[in-house]
Amino acid sequence: MKGILRKEVLRSIMKNILTIILALLALNSCTSSKNQHDEVPLLKISENGRFFQYESGKPFFWLGDTGWLLFSKLNRDEAVTYLDDRKNKGFNVIQAMVLHSIKAANIYGDSALINGNVTQPLLKEGNSFEQPETYDYWDHMDYIVQLAEERGMYMALVPVWGSNVKNGSVSLEQAGTYATWLAKRYANRPNIIWLNGGDTRGDQNTEIWDTIGRSLRANAPEHLITFHPFGRTKSSMWFHDEEWLDFNMFQSGHRRYDQDDSDLAYGQDNWKYVRDDYALSPVKPTLDGEPSYEGIPQGLHDPSEPYWNEDDLRRYAYWSVFAGGCGFTYGHNAIMQFHKPGDEDPAYGVKEYWTEALNAQGAGQMKYLKELILSKPYFERVPDQSLIASNQGEKYDYQIATRGEEYAFVYSYNGRDIAVNMEILKGEIVTAFWYNPRNGETATIGKFDNTSTKSFDPPGEMEDGNDWVLVLESE
């Protein structure tokens, strides 16, 4: 009898031990899964008001891509391909339209709205992709937002593209109702940034844009908000003092110097937009949210014109960031519209499909700017043209400088000699390097006494696209 009881006790103990082991394994599995797909941190504005940072205080350099039609043009597998590629190339923000138009539908044929009314999202009960009758436009959008979150990427979302407001398809009352619903739906998603507007002027339909901005702020208070403006304009022209606008964005646009007929007439000098915003009070971050796209005609509409290339994109990126920008958004003509075989009306003279454009030269080179900026103390960086001793140049000859306390970067787009006032940096000795924006490689120039003026001759011949960054480090 005692033997039987002893066996029962042992069996009970072993069963309990097995239960505990299985529970621990399950917990470990859940923890591993959570670590793999953990929430990305919320983004904040840095203490000095110039940059972004994670909640932890770690710097965040915005490297964006314009995937405007992502939610309507790509299926689930294609979205994985796109986001994996962009993450591997160093991009951490994807700019996309929630509603390109009030008739928006996704690749599965799911309409976003009932009868084109933004106050009536077309919602189906359930969200199973395996059961199409339960899967809707918004479920597909949720899926892609989650894909981005799992990759540590942020979605910068335009609630409704500006043309829909301009043509009267969205009233003031509808705008507030829709923005409130949208903000609440995504309020708990940590990887959301809001781009109010959408290629539009803020002095047109101002009350509607203000209403959308205030609704987003009230119902998604943890998310950053800006305004995506019309070409060759900037959010600060209309909304800089608005409480809902956390940072400024400008669209330097797709025109050459001789094509720019805007009031500012900055042409390709996108650094001037940053210069203007940098001087404003209160201090807010700013960035170029839409420069000329790689693979798009100069001037945008005429395919007989030359096309912008990777050299141009590097110039826009380094000019705007060195001027004090908190990041940069890249764009490609084929990617922004996700051009596919069979598209009936492709835009802007697009020459390739989006899958080919993934590997465009400019897209692969943007990460080198991000890596350079993050390689030095981040929050102390300021623009400083006093580093350039003489002849800063104009247009493509323009040289631009930025520095911290013990380092400096000077960018030359065409390999023109760079004359530097050395004593601005701390220290008696300075080490100089050449940084190649095309491949991220560094070559040591030498050590120099940190006195007087010194001239540096970049490698190669002087020509547009032979761009270099002079890197100076105090010892």
Q: Tokens 């405007």 — which residue?
A: 68
Domain 384-474, classified CATH 3.40.50, yes or no: no
Per-residue pLDDT of the chain (475 residues; tens, 9 = 90+): 444 434 444 455 444 444 444 344 334 433 333 333 357 999 999 999 999 999 999 999 999 999 999 999 999 999 999 999 999 999 999 999 999 999 999 999 999 999 999 999 999 999 999 999 999 999 999 999 999 999 999 999 999 999 999 999 999 999 999 999 999 999 999 999 999 999 999 999 999 999 999 999 999 999 999 999 999 999 999 999 999 999 999 999 999 999 999 999 999 999 999 999 999 999 999 999 999 999 999 999 999 999 999 999 999 999 999 999 999 999 999 999 999 999 999 999 999 999 999 999 999 999 999 999 999 999 999 999 999 998 999 999 999 999 999 999 999 999 999 999 999 999 999 999 999 999 999 999 999 999 999 999 999 999 999 999 999 999 9
Which helix (H) or strand (E) element contains residue 227?
strand 224-229
Q: Following DSSP, what letter does each residue of 27-44 receive, concatenated?
A: HHHHHHHHHHTPPPPPEE
Exposure string of 380-411, with b = 16+ CB inside 10 Å and e = fewer, is ebebbeebbeeeeeeebebbbbbbbebbbbbb
Quick check: do 43-374 and 384-474 share a fold?
no
Q: Phi, psi at residue 428, to the nearest 5°?
A: -90, -30
Q: In what order do the strands lie in the sheet with 399-403?
A: 382-383, 399-403, 407-412, 468-474, 429-435, 442-449
Encode 66-84 in three state secondary structure: ECCCHHHHCCHHHHHHHHH
Q: CB 233: neighbour CB atoms within 10 A? A: 23
pTM score, whole prediction:
0.92
- Which of the following CATH numbers is that of domain 43-374: 3.20.20.70, 3.20.20.80, 3.40.47.40, 3.40.50.1950? 3.20.20.80
Going from the C-alpha of 112 to that of each of 107, 125, 183, 260, the distances in angstroms are 11, 14, 16, 36
Residue 7 to residue 322: CA distance in whole angstroms: 76
Hey, where are the domains in the chain?
Answer: 43-374, 384-474
Q: For residue 193, what is the enclosing H or E element?
A: strand 192-200
CA distance 68 to 88: 19
Cβ atoms 137, 102 nearer than 8 A: no
